[in-house]
Structure 1
């Protein structure tokens, strides 16, 4: 039996392509994905199409080597938290960054209903500055 923790792990621990496919397969049609204030993609995106175009396509085109490496997962019923470090180099400036993050997911019946991002956005913002 696949657990909520298994579902979330599968969106981080493979190749970018595998992670993306796994994420798409478990996003609820009306999933809410909230990027934190201060992050370049801040705001709430509703549904897989907005989430992919508003966040993941931008990450893939604006950053080199962008990665979200999780070091700790915590599961409590329908909630799973992932804690880790973002890294990558912003293409326009050539500046690298490393920033800690936490993602809090809410799931139901094997689908992600929501994700809330918490991030130290200062290092990310510094990478954006010329």
Structure 2
């Protein structure tokens, strides 16, 4: 049986393709995914299709080498936190960024039900302008 920590870790620690496949396998169909206010994709996306279109498709098309590298995980029952650094180059401006982030996940029955993003939006905004 995979722990909640291992389930979340598997969505960050492989190749981008592996991470994407692993994430898709563990998203609840009605996942609630909240991107932080001030982040370019701010808001709450409900459902896998809304999440893919509103966040991941845009990350893939608007950024070069966008990455989320985790340095620390914390687990507490159904909640898992991942702390790390985003990096990438925004295509429209050619500017690069590095921004600290935290993701707080709620996992139930081996599925991600909810994710809340916390991020240094100032660093991201500098790359956008």
TM-score (norm 1): 0.98
- What does residue 61 of structure 1 align with? 61
Per the alignment, residue 124 of structure 1 pairs with 124
In 1: Cα distance, 2:29 partner to 2:40 partner: 24
Return the alpha-carbon distance in structure 2 between the equivalents of residues 17 and 54 of structure 1.
Answer: 19
Describe how 1:1-130 pairs up with structure 2 within 5 A: 1-129=1-129
Aligned residues: CA RMSD: 0.5
Moved over 6 A (4+): none
CA shift for structure 1 position 53: 1.0
1:25-57 deviations in whole A, cap 9, x for unaligned?
Answer: 101111100000000000000111111111011
Q: Distance in 1 between matches of 2:15 and 2:77?
A: 27
In the comparison of the two structures, how many residue pairs are matched? 129
- Gaps (5+ residues) in structure 2? none
TM-score normalised by structure 2 residue count: 0.99
Secondary structure (helix, strand or coil) at the match of 1:2 reads: coil
Q: Show structure 1 runs of 5+ residues with no match.
A: none
